[in-house]
């Protein structure tokens, strides 16, 4: 007879493999989930955004004169809102227009959940 697993152990395994990360701000905390843990429509948009970011980074790499037409602040904010919980918009409001902080948050999130190499380039 094969092994028997508990739902709790499967959830624990999924959390370890496809976990989220948290960001504290003031007295609050927001959770940024792994895209595999969000609804399908949101997940599809998240991967579209990653493709847009990567295409823009590739174009910049291939041609030094390429000027990005990507509204990075809006794209990163949309991405983080899609993977975030209900408190994520509050975090983004606190960050405001500081693109460097949004990019740093995106990069840390991406590394934490293992999303690969879509670059938050400022080029």
Q: Chain-wide mean pLDDT for the chain?
A: 89
Compute the average pLDDT of residues 45-54: 94
Residue 122 has a pLDDT of 45
What burial class does residue 90 get, using C-beta atoms within 10 Å of its C-beta: 0-12 exposed, 13-18 middle, 19+ buried?
middle
Is the pLDDT at 37 greater than 80? The verdict is yes
Beta strands in the chain (DSSP E): 21-25, 28-32
Could you read off the pLDDT of 50-64 as tens digits, one per residue? 999 999 888 888 877
Is the pLDDT at 70 greater than 70? The verdict is yes
Residue 58 has a pLDDT of 87
* pTM (whole model) above 0.85: no
Tell me the C-alpha to C-alpha distance, in Å, between residue 110 and each of 8, 33, 65, 73: 26, 11, 27, 16
């Amino acid at each position: 007879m094969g092994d028997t697993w508990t739902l709790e152990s499967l959830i624990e395994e999924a959390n370890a493999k496809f976990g989220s990360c948290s960001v504290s701000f003031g007295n609050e905390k927001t959770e940024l989930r792994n895209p595999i843990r969000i609804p399908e429509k949101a997940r599809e948009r998240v991967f579209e955004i990653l493709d847009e970011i990567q295409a823009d980074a590739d174009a910049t790499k291939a041609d030094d004169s390429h000027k990005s037409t990507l509204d990075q602040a809006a794209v990163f904010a949309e991405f983080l809102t899609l993977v975030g919980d209900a408190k994520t918009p509050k975090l983004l409001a606190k960050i405001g227009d500081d693109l460097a902080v949004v990019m740093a948050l995106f990069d840390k999130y991406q590394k934490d959940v293992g999303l690969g190499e879509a670059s938050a380039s400022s080029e």
